[in-house]
Amino acid sequence: MSRRALYLACAAGIGFVALFAATRWSDTHTGAALAEPALTGERIARGAYLAKMGDCAACHSVPGKPPFSGGLRMETPIGALFTSNITPDRRYGIGNYTLADFDRALRYGVAAGHTLYPAMPYSAYSITRPEDVAALYAYFKQGVAAAAVPNRDSEIIFPLSMRWPLTVWRWLYAPTPRPFAAPPGMDRQLARGAYLVQGLGHCGDCHTARGVSLQVRALGPADGPAYLGGASVDGWHAPSLRNGGAATIGAWSEADIAQFLTGGANRHGSAFGSMSDVIVNSTAHLTDDDARAAARFLKSLPDTGGRAYRYDPAASLALRRGDADARGARLYLDNCAACHRPDGKGYERVFPPLAGNPVVATATAESLIRIVLAGAQTPRTAAAPAQFAMPAFAWRLSNQEVADVVTFIRTSWGNDASPVEVRAVGRLRETAGRNTPP
C-alpha cells in the first residue's frame, strides 16, 4: 500500500470512528429534562383521547395480545421489524420511562439510547405540545394495563441492522422538535385542525410521497404542494387530500370530510385498506369539534393541478340501451352494476360511487385493482354501525378481465383516468390474493 493510500485509509477510519462517536453522543444526549407531571384522572383521560388521535393502537396492538404490547410486523425495504411493547411493564415495556424518556421517544425519535426506525412517525409527532406529551405519558403509565410481552427482534440482516446510521438519517431528515404554534392571524378552528392533521394525526405519513431515503417529502403546507398530495403505500394509493382536480377531495365539503373521518364513508366514497383501521382505531373517536377542525384545515390546502370532475351520462345511457361494447362494459354489468349502479353513482354510505370518486381518478390504479381482487369492507363505527362488504373477484376474474373492468370504471361517467395494463394486475394479484373463493 502506498503512503497516500495509507493516509487515506487512516483518514477514513478516523472519520468513521468520529461519526460513530457523534451518533452515540447524539442518541444519549438528545431531548430535555422535564419535570414529572401529576398523573391525575383528568390528565389520564385526556391522554386516552390523544392516544386514539395518534392511532397508537394501530401499530402497537395486534389481535390475540394485550393492548399496546407490540408485535406488529412491518415490512421495510431492508427487512421486517416489529413494533415495541409500550405498556407500563417494567421489563419489556416503558414502565421505567420518565416523562423526559417518553418525550424523547415521541418527539425526538430516540429510545433506549438509539434512534428509532422512522416507521415511528416522530417527525410528525415533533410538534406535539408539552401538555399533550404529559397527558399521553400519564395515560400510558396509569391508563394502560402492564403486559409482560417480550419485544421481537427485527429480521433485518447485518450490517443493515446497525442502528447508528439511523441517527444520521434523523440528522438529515427529522425536524428539530418544536411545539406547534399557529401562524399569526390564523383563526382558532383552523389552527386546531392544522395541529391535529400535521401532528398526532400524522396524515402525511401515508398521504405524502417519500423520497429516495424513505423520508416524508413534506411535513406541512410550508413545504410545498407535495404535502398530502397522495402517495403509494404498501401496494395501495393513498389519495390526495388537497383541493383541486378530480383526483383530489376538491368536491368534498367540510361536512363531507368530517363525516368520513367519524364514520368511514360519505356521499363521495368509503374507506378501504389501512384507512379503515385508521377510522376504527382513531378518527371515529374524534370529537365533533376536532373532526370539523381537521376538515377545515384540509379544505385550506389548494391544488391547482388536474381538471375538475364533471359527470358525463354517456356511459350510463349506453348501458341502458343495451350497448355494452366498450372495453369492460359487460364485465361491469355482470359483476359491479348491481351495487354501484349502471350510472356509477352507487348508494350513499352503502356502496360507494365510482363516478367522480378521487380513488378512481388517481394516476395509478393500484387501489382499485386491489379492491377488485381482494374485496373490501366498510369500517364499523358508532356513527356507521352497519357494515357492508364487497366480495373478492380474484377467484372469478382473470388478469385481463380485471384490467378491462377497471379500465371501464376509470374511463366512464366523466372519469378521465388512464387505461389499465394486464401486467399491472398480475403484479398486484401476487399480494392481493390469487384465486381463493370467499
Q: Of the candidates 115, 50, 113, 119, which has an alpha carbon nearest to the alpha carbon of residue 83?
A: 119
- In this prediction, residues 414-418 reach a mean pLDDT of 94
Is residue 349 assigned to a domain? Answer: yes
Residue 33 has pLDDT above 60, yes or no: yes
Domain boundary among 274, 298, 322: 298
Q: What is the pLDDT of residue 294?
A: 98
Residues 75 and 120 in one domain: yes
Contact 200, 128 (CB under 8 A): yes
Residue 436: pLDDT band with limits 50, 70, 90: very low
Residues 209 and 258 in one domain: yes
Q: What is the pLDDT of residue 383?
A: 74
Residues 164 and 207 in one domain: no
Residues 254 and 218 in one domain: yes
Cell 366498450 maps to which residue? 326
Residues 108 and 224 in one domain: no
Domain boundary among 143, 173, 203: 173
Residue 438 has pLDDT above 60, yes or no: no
Q: What is the CATH number of the domain that holds 361?
A: 1.10.760.10
- Least confident range from 27-36, 162-171, 403-412: namely 27-36
Tens-place pLDDT, residues 220-273? 999 999 999 999 888 889 999 999 989 999 999 999 999 999 999 999 999 988
Instruction: Report which of residues 354 and 33 the model is more confident about.
Output: 354
DSSP letter string, 92-108: TSSTT--HHHHHIIIII
Is residue 179 assigned to a domain? Answer: no
pTM, two decimals, is 0.90
Residues 197 and 324 in one domain: no
Cα–Cα distance measured from residue 274 to residue 206, given in angstroms and rounded to the nearest whole number: 10
Q: Residue-wise over 225-262: b if at least 16 C-beta within 10 A, else e?
A: bbbbbbbebeebbbbbbbbbbbbbbbbbebebbbbbbb
Residue 4: CB partners within 8 Å, gap ≥ 6?
A: none
Q: What is the pLDDT of residue 308?
A: 87
Q: What is the pLDDT of residue 433?
A: 53
Is residue 178 assigned to a domain? Answer: no
Residue 428 has pLDDT above 80, yes or no: yes
What domain range includes position 385? 314-432
Residue 434 has pLDDT above 50, yes or no: no
Tens-place pLDDT, residues 313-369? 999 999 999 899 999 999 999 999 999 999 999 998 889 999 999 999 999 999 999
Is residue 308 assigned to a domain? Answer: no
Tens-place pLDDT, residues 56-110? 999 999 999 999 999 999 888 788 999 999 999 999 999 999 999 999 999 999 9
Domain boundary among 251, 273, 298: 298
Report which residue type is found at 43. Answer: R
Is residue 182 assigned to a domain? Answer: no
Is residue 339 assigned to a domain? Answer: yes
Residue 210 has pLDDT above 80, yes or no: yes
Residues 30 and 106 in one domain: yes
Residue 237, annotated as binding a ligand: no
Residue 437 has pLDDT above 80, yes or no: no
Contact 197, 218 (CB under 8 A): no
- In this prediction, residues 133-141 reach a mean pLDDT of 98
Residues 143 and 203 in one domain: no
Residues 272 and 328 in one domain: no
Residue 10, annotated as binding a ligand: no
Residue 336, annotated as binding a ligand: yes
Residue 29, annotated as binding a ligand: no
What is the chain's mean pLDDT, rounded? Answer: 92
Residues 326 and 360 in one domain: yes
Residue 378 has pLDDT above 90, yes or no: no
Q: What is the pLDDT of residue 7?
A: 74
- In this prediction, residues 185-212 reach a mean pLDDT of 96
Residue 435 has pLDDT above 70, yes or no: no
| Number of domains the chain contains | 3
Residues 284 and 377 in one domain: no
Residues 235 and 350 in one domain: no
Contact 373, 428 (CB under 8 A): yes
